Structures are given as C-alpha cells and as structure tokens.
Amino acid sequence: MEKQIYSFIMKNSPAILTIMASALFSASATFLPPGFVLLSDVDPSIIQSVRYASSQNFMGRPMDGYNCPQIVLTKQAADALVKVQASLKEQGYGLVVYDGYRPQPTVDSFVEWSFDDSDLAAKAWYYPTLVGSKVKLFEEGYIAKRSGHTRGSTVDLTIIKLGDTVHDIVVSKRMLSNGDEISFLDDGTVDMGSSFDLFHPASNQDSPLIKDQIYIANRDTLRQAMKRSGFKEYAGEWWHFTLADEPYPVTYFDFILCQKGEQEAQKL
C-alpha cells in the first residue's frame, strides 16, 4: 500500500521542537523539584522525540502538562540511561526517548479522553482494532490511571542507528499473522515490527504476532541494553521500562513540564 505522510502531525514535529528547546532551554529549569533532571543536561547525545508535547500520539494533540518538549527523569533514571547509551553506541545504535516523567494531570486527561467515544482522531494509527469503548485500553493495560511514568523513573524509548535522524512520520499498513491490519509509523528509528504506542497485542515484548527474526532481534537489543543498566521491562509494551531501584516507588508527582514563563521562552 502506498505510504502516506502522517498529515495532522506535521504541524508539531517533536524532532524539530526538541532541537529548538535544547537551544533555548537551559539547565536552570525552575519547574523541576529536587531529585529530577532534564535528560538533555545529563546526556545531550540521547535523542528526544517528545511525542506527548506534539500531535504525534494516541490523542492526536499536545497533551495537558507537556508545555515544553523536554524529557524529565529522576537523576537515578537519567544516569542509568547514560550507561544504556554508552552500551548501545558500542553496537552502532543510540537511544530515542519518547516519554519520561508524566504529570498526573496528563494521566487524568487520559481518563477523561477514554470516556469520550466521539474523539477518535488517531484511532487508525494507534488503536485500529479496538472495538467498543476506549475504556478497554485501561483494562488491557496500555494506559493506566496511576502510571509508573508519574513516579519519574519510567521511560518509553527505542533505538536508532548511529548517524540516522528522527523524521516526520510516514505511515504504511502491515498485515499480521492473525489477519489484523495495523499502521506502522516510520519515524526513522529501528523497526520493531510495531510502532510506539500501538495499543495492540503486537506491541507485547514477546508477541507471537511478531515472527520476523530481525524485529525480534531488534527488540532484544533494546531490552538487553536496558536490563544490563538496571531497568526492568513491561511485558505489554516493548518500549516501556522502569528503573528497578527507583527512588520514588510510591510517590506520584503532579508538576507540569515548564511553568508559564519557561513555556513562553520555548516560543521565541
């Protein structure tokens, strides 16, 4: 099937936004509480593609709480990613991080969105086989009312070949062995057989629907690098990892990404 540019996201490319933010936004981010850091300050070689600050996500619009395209993490999680990055570089890869700390107000907005069954702006790309209410996405474990991201030591990420760059998404269709058709969102990262935030069993770490050995090997490259540096995997999503020894295992934070003054600085 002919590939199509993912048109409604072109207005807010996270790759472009992150480059601009890195140039304009320094380590003096006053919105950060003690114990949290900007990933760009800890390792600027790690590519950030902050999907929830753009329209390239399952809601199809920038999400509440993401006022700047920056990945924020606990210092411990960020330091662990530095080790992952170093390990991957030896294999010819680097990290691309889609999400880190996620404000509780963002998670609350997921709940509100799930009850609005008229809002299906991004269904074809992120939950194409869902039948019935979007509330099922909570029941199936793809999104949660209490997210590990809100504790600051969980990351959504993938890998990219060194020298390659993240680009605007190009959409193609794939047919799975069970007959389901999914959209593959090519953003320049390594092909894992399914895309980030696809709410479908094909996204499970060891999904039997992913049979091509190159996809299996690519997923394992990411998984093993993360595990070697102290992260544990989530079986339901190949991109989702949590620092095993996270510093705030029972604390859910609600600070937003950038305060008003800092948000305005991003627009200069």
Q: Is residue 54 within 8 Å of 245, Cβ to Cβ?
A: no
* H helix runs in 75-185, sequence order: 75-89, 104-114, 123-126, 136-139
| 3-class state of residue 227 by DSSP | helix
Q: Please provide residue 38's backbone torsions phi and psi, each rounded to the nearest 5 degrees.
A: -80, 130
Q: Is residue 92 within 8 Å of 162, Cβ to Cβ?
A: yes
- Active-site position among 2, 233, 237, 262: 237
Dihedral of CA 244/81/171/91: which sign? Answer: negative
Q: For residue 233, what are its two tokens?
A: 């995997």
Is 264 an active-site residue?
no
Distance CA 9, CA 91 (A): 32
Q: For residue 94, what are its two tokens?
A: 């680097």
Distance CA 218, CA 193 (A): 9
Distance CA 2, CA 250 (A): 47
Q: Is residue 48 within 8 Å of 25, Cβ to Cβ?
A: no
Query: Annotated active-site positions, please?
Result: 237
